[in-house]
Structure 1
Amino acid sequence: MQGQPLHWRMLAQRAGSEERRRLVRVARGEEQGDLLIRGAQVVQPATREVFEADVLVAGGRVAALGSGFQAARVVEARGAYLAPGFLDGHVHIESSLLTPAGFAAATLPRGTTGVVAEPHEVVNVLGPDGLAWMLEAGRTSGQRVWASAPSCVPASAFETGGARIDAGDTARLLALPGVLGLAEMMNYPGVLGGDPEVWAVLDAGRASGRRLDGHAAGVQGRDLQAYAAAGLHSDHEATTPEEARERLRAGLWLMVREGSAARNLQALLPVLRERPRRAMLVSDDVSVDELLELGHLDRLLRAGVAGGLHPADAVALVTCNPAEYWGLHDLGLVAPGYHADFVLLRDLQGFEVLETFVGGQEARPGTHTPPLAGGQVNLGPGWGAATFKVPPQWPVMVVSPDQITTGIGTPGSGDARLVVADRYGRGEWAACWTNGSGLRGATLGLSVLHDAHHAAFLGGTDEDVRAAGRALEALGGGAVVVAGGQVRAQLPLPYAGLMTDLPPAQAAAALTELTAVCRTHGCTLPYPVTTLSFLGLTVIPALKLTPRGLLDVAAWRYVP
């Protein structure tokens, strides 16, 4: 309601009061409820227990738990488990390659009723309009979608994307309804070094009184203490138990990440088994093919329980804990007064979802996505004659199949060339050698390159790289595989060059075909599109490539 005229706020408050009064009457048995879930095994993460109860709903909220209730509609749970709806406390919807409606279609059936989107992908391309679009698209998606205001656009001084957000922009974005806090502060060198622009953004975040999300890859020791002292509240970059415990001891909330590009859950399970008070599971970046094949937060719950977590503790990591962190005080529990967002589960091992409810209604994904203008691919007038030579003294970027960090190899040891080209018409590009993908004889081209979202090309001859670039321009953004000058597979991404409005199954099929063609050319990466999309992110060690050169992240300078 922030930003609405006073009389509108007063009317909304009065309506809210009436809804609450009715809820009290329904709970006392003075009025009939709207919905009754009868005979459920309620999962209560707040008390670490599971108990049998009927759940009464009125006006989209839980009125009471117990027995002997009356309601206009009854759903027989027949002993199924009733858990709070799952909340993803940190996710880049754009990384799924889907719009919010498509993401909801893929994840609502998996029990995800709400997400806190970090939309700095679309904001890096389109600026503040990208965040406004994400919130609007979220409202019609069928899922609860909140957002955090991007703090690093561009991610660092080494990136030049389609937009630049300063502290004044950040303050305005933080005031938008549906924005819960400042998004991940990736520029930790700027935080630690006192960069005035970075600190102006932090000041705007603190002035808002909202959460300040952290992002401190590889930061430890006194630097981590200093990073936390700057006012950050969380971190999702821990990859070892030692890093996780260090963050918890520094007062940071621990976000344990398990997505397509970085998988940290198995390594951090020993810490989660210690039952830390301030922890949650997040997906961060997960592609549509993996969403449909393996699941979303339900997959993380399966892995957590299989790894020794008590089911109620595992459920807390995707319900009441992220709700508490983000200040969503009416979500995260099946309890009186809370929104009736819950999931019926067959059991607490496989976490098979029988039905998902949002606001007391069976969840249905939206069918409308608002239009989004801009963000097309323009590689510049010199692209048709471009060549992509690698300086022979440059080290080789070593690519990992399951992490977004890269290693440093000796010159001459590469097996596939990487080209990164500015896609905003500046006519800049650079190339380096990589090792670890196995791709030969073909070029994988992509207009998704975190976070500036230039065009990236892995493997292939100069001719194939140029052909892949022309294909991306013609599509208005997307993913392509080119061999022998011909496009062998493609997925158009017309929404800012990042997202498709294809149904998830069609998008996943196109992505699977892209991966299969890469496989025929030797690629060994499980998710080559996702892996390629992170080879330009300048705030993740050790080497990353931008249109202006090869960046040594630890040294915080371009390789000469």
Structure 2
Amino acid sequence: MNKEALVKRLNASARRQKADIVIKNGKIMDVYNHEWIYEDIAITDGVIVGLGQYEGEETIDAEGQIIVPGFIDGHVHIESSMVTPIEFAKAVLPNGVTTIITDPHEIANVSGQEGIKFMIEQARQTPLNIHFMLPSSVPAASFERSGAVLRAADLKPFYEEKEVLGLAEVMDYVSVEQGEADMVNKLLDARSAGKRIDGHLAGLSTDLINIYRTALVLTDHEVTTKEEALDRIRRGMYVMMREGSVAKNTLKVLPAVNEKNARRFFFCTDDKHVDDLLSEGSVNHQVKMAIQAGLDPFLAYQLGSLNAAECYGLDTKGAIAPGFDADLLFISDVENVTVTKTMVKGQTVAEDNKAVGQAQVHTLTPDPALLDSVNLAAPLSEQDFHMPINPQQQMNVIQIIPNQLETRLVSVPAPEAHIFQPDIELDLLKIAVVERHKGLKETGLGIVKGFGLKSGAIATTISHDSHNIIAVGTNDADIAAAVNKLQEIGGGLTVIKDGEELHSVPLPIGGLLSDQSAELVNQSLMTLHEKLSFIGFKDRFNPFLTLSFLALPVIPDIKMTTTGLFDVKSFQHIALQ
């Protein structure tokens, strides 16, 4: 802010001149004192300059509605929505989300620095306040086959970008615990730049929490219980309560929140598909859940706004007070969190559940390298997925847990055969992870239980975090057809039955993002899920989302990689038998 701008704001605050905008007849939520304020809101240059009695060049009548600070999503991967940052903004602004802290590690695992640059450039074209944390673990573990490797020296230049707030979820806990040189440099670079460090402490012991805090890691979004939350809070961390498309932890963690510790909690979505964002919402949904579960509404809205702003040093976000940006929501029903208008820096960007004004901008110019990210050495055949077994030995099987990222390792008897064939009656299906970045001809094969498919196969290039092709199916021919279809369309999601495509959702940008609007992607996803019934899927979870996390070897207990089964707790690969 320059001198001229400050003088203008001071004049408006002191009523020597009219404010640009004055909002009258609103009921203002004070997230500091937990009380209501019945005053005008004076706004100049997109900044609140006063609460009181003011006159403005423009007057907005709130008509008795409640006015609250814009919501902040404390940790989100935009790529999980399958749309670009511009389209993501159109989806969340009507829900009252005005600020997000995003980690672009999905596209970074595919395209490295170019992927990060693309996301930042896109973010600058939308009124949504998009801040970035730099991917700390690309790849997520040293043995992973990602499309890129980002070392400390690769990340350091990005700290010069104004949108970058710090180092994103540090998930390679082995490197942290052992003080591995490049990880130490990443941690030091973030602190030297005056930035924050996010954690990823899924299933870790209190000893490892101590180590993470010693490394000055500030947050964790992998908390699943009250006890885990309190362990982190008492060690000085912030806890993000997560409600994504798969991981739904808010209600299980909420009992840890009380009047004394509430300022150390806030909300995040982490990974949420665009169809869920459009139908269910974002942080607004979590605020509503918390209120319905009995949390005081003032606390719930504080968790949705102020707390994340304080954690990340966003000094002008999260409250309605002089000096804060005019990121405001008009709410007609405080308990149901009914957002009727969203304002960012004093400008209306969404109204009546639709993005308006500057939020409608759309310019898409991805680097050509981002459009050519599926690189199999050659089309695959069903023979490439044959899996020899010993009928005399037990088999290690991945047991999925619906609507959770965690899995379980179970042991089942091998069938009387030397080549494994999926067993539909026992729900033992084949899972495959195929390297797709550099044509390495590397495929990991295993067995998974819990999908309930009766025929066909599904596959996707979204497989956290290295984003190789991952497929599950009832026969090798359909698995091969699904993998080949993804090569043909440049990445995405597909459903195959009897060798034929039932439906696909192309994601040509890095195999992760569509070049289409959020609405068109939503419609295509609806068709995709309708086609799942044709292959027998009947359960109440998203099979593509569940599948996409089965290749993430930093979430317990057992996962699949391009080189086979991986036991997360022992942090080593294990044999099928």
Of 504, 526, 540, the residue aligned with 1:512 is 526
Of 461, 480, 495, the residue aligned with 2:475 is 461
Of 96, 110, 129, the residue aligned with 1:111 is 96
Unaligned runs of 5+ in 2: 350-355, 414-425
- Cα deviation for residue 225 of structure 1 reads 1.5
- Cα deviation for residue 386 of structure 1 reads 4.4
Kept in 1: contact 2:565–2:574 (CA 8 A): yes
CA shift in 2, pair 1:391/1:234, >3 Å: farther
| Matching of residues 376-415 of structure 1 within 5 Å | 376-381=373-378, 383-384=380-381, 386-390=383-387, 392=389, 393-412=394-413, 415=428
Amino acid at match of 2:515: D
Report Cα offsets for 1:101-160 as digits up to 9, x if no partner.
111111100101111110000111111111111111011123111101110000001211
Kept in 1: contact 2:382–2:476 (CA 8 A): no
Instruction: State whether structure 2 residue 65 is matched by structure 1 residue 83.
Output: no
Amino acid at match of 1:46: Y
| Matching of residues 209-288 of structure 1 within 5 Å | 209-274=194-259, 275-288=261-274
Name the residue aligned to 1:373.
368
Cα distance in structure 1, aligned partners of 2:99 and 2:136: 22
Name the residue aligned to 2:543.
528
Kept in 1: contact 2:262–2:299 (CA 8 A): no
Instruction: State whether structure 2 residue 448 is matched by structure 1 residue 434.
Output: yes
Instruction: State whether structure 2 residue 96 is matched by structure 1 residue 139.
Output: no
Cα distance in structure 1, aligned partners of 2:545 and 2:4: 48
TM-score by length of 1: 0.95
Of 308, 313, 321, the residue aligned with 1:335 is 321
Of 42, 61, 84, the residue aligned with 2:47 is 61
Of 476, 489, 492, the residue aligned with 2:490 is 476
- Cα deviation for residue 284 of structure 1 reads 0.5
Report Cα offsets for 1:275-296 as digits up to 9, x if no partner.
4221111000111111111111
Name the residue aligned to 1:420.
433
Instruction: State whether structure 2 residue 10 is matched by structure 1 residue 24.
Output: yes
Instruction: State whether structure 2 residue 112 is matched by structure 1 residue 100.
Output: no
Amino acid at match of 1:550: L
Cα distance in structure 2, aligned partners of 1:202 and 1:440: 47
Instruction: State whether structure 2 residue 145 is matched by structure 1 residue 160.
Output: yes
Cα distance in structure 2, aligned partners of 1:307 and 1:136: 39
Kept in 2: contact 1:302–1:350 (CA 8 A): yes
Cα distance in structure 2, aligned partners of 1:373 and 1:330: 37
Name the residue aligned to 1:443.
457
Q: Match of 1:159, SS?
A: coil
- Cα deviation for residue 236 of structure 1 reads 0.8
Q: CA RMSD in A?
A: 1.5
Cα distance in structure 2, aligned partners of 1:213 and 1:48: 28
Kept in 2: contact 1:476–1:493 (CA 8 A): yes
How many residue pairs get aligned? The number is 545
Moved more, 514-523 or 145-154: 514-523
- Cα deviation for residue 36 of structure 1 reads 1.3
Instruction: State whether structure 2 residue 297 is matched by structure 1 residue 311.
Output: yes
Kept in 2: contact 1:102–1:504 (CA 8 A): yes
Cα distance in structure 1, aligned partners of 2:333 and 2:465: 39
Cα distance in structure 2, aligned partners of 1:299 and 1:337: 28
Cα distance in structure 2, aligned partners of 1:381 and 1:455: 14
Instruction: State whether structure 2 residue 517 is matched by structure 1 residue 503.
Output: yes
Amino acid at match of 2:411: T
Cα distance in structure 2, aligned partners of 1:110 and 1:463: 43
- Cα deviation for residue 347 of structure 1 reads 1.6
- Cα deviation for residue 177 of structure 1 reads 2.4
Name the residue aligned to 2:422.
none
- Cα deviation for residue 385 of structure 1 reads 6.0
Amino acid at match of 2:224: T
Name the residue aligned to 2:418.
none
Instruction: State whether structure 2 residue 32 is matched by structure 1 residue 35.
Output: no
Kept in 1: contact 2:459–2:479 (CA 8 A): yes
Amino acid at match of 1:405: E
Kept in 2: contact 1:147–1:179 (CA 8 A): yes
Name the residue aligned to 1:554.
569
Kept in 1: contact 2:221–2:240 (CA 8 A): yes
Kept in 2: contact 1:343–1:356 (CA 8 A): yes
Name the residue aligned to 1:324.
310
Instruction: State whether structure 2 residue 348 is matched by structure 1 residue 351.
Output: no
Report Cα offsets for 1:57-112 as digits up to 9, x if no partner.
11111111112x11121111111011111111100000011111111111100101
Amino acid at match of 1:429: T
Cα distance in structure 2, aligned partners of 1:525 and 1:397: 19
Cα distance in structure 1, aligned partners of 2:403 and 2:284: 20
Cα distance in structure 2, aligned partners of 1:46 and 1:402: 35
Q: Match of 1:379, SS?
A: coil
Cα distance in structure 2, aligned partners of 1:113 and 1:222: 37
- Cα deviation for residue 394 of structure 1 reads 4.0
| Deviation beyond 6 Å, 4+ runs, structure 1 | none
Amino acid at match of 1:470: N
Unaligned runs of 5+ in 1: 1-12
Q: Match of 1:383, SS?
A: coil
- Cα deviation for residue 319 of structure 1 reads 1.1
Name the residue aligned to 2:286.
300
Moved more, 377-386 or 399-408: 377-386
Cα distance in structure 2, aligned partners of 1:543 and 1:159: 15
**Percent identity between the aligned chains?**
33
Cα distance in structure 1, aligned partners of 2:475 and 2:248: 32
Report Cα offsets for 1:364-416 as digits up to 9, x if no partner.
42322332332421222262464213454541101122111111111346522
Kept in 1: contact 2:24–2:41 (CA 8 A): yes
Q: Match of 1:277, SS?
A: helix
Cα distance in structure 2, aligned partners of 1:501 and 1:56: 39
Report Cα offsets for 1:13-72 as digits up to 9, x if no partner.
5xx3321211111111111111111111111111112222211111111111112x1112
Cα distance in structure 2, aligned partners of 1:53 and 1:415: 63
Of 547, 553, 557, the residue aligned with 1:542 is 557
Amino acid at match of 1:370: T
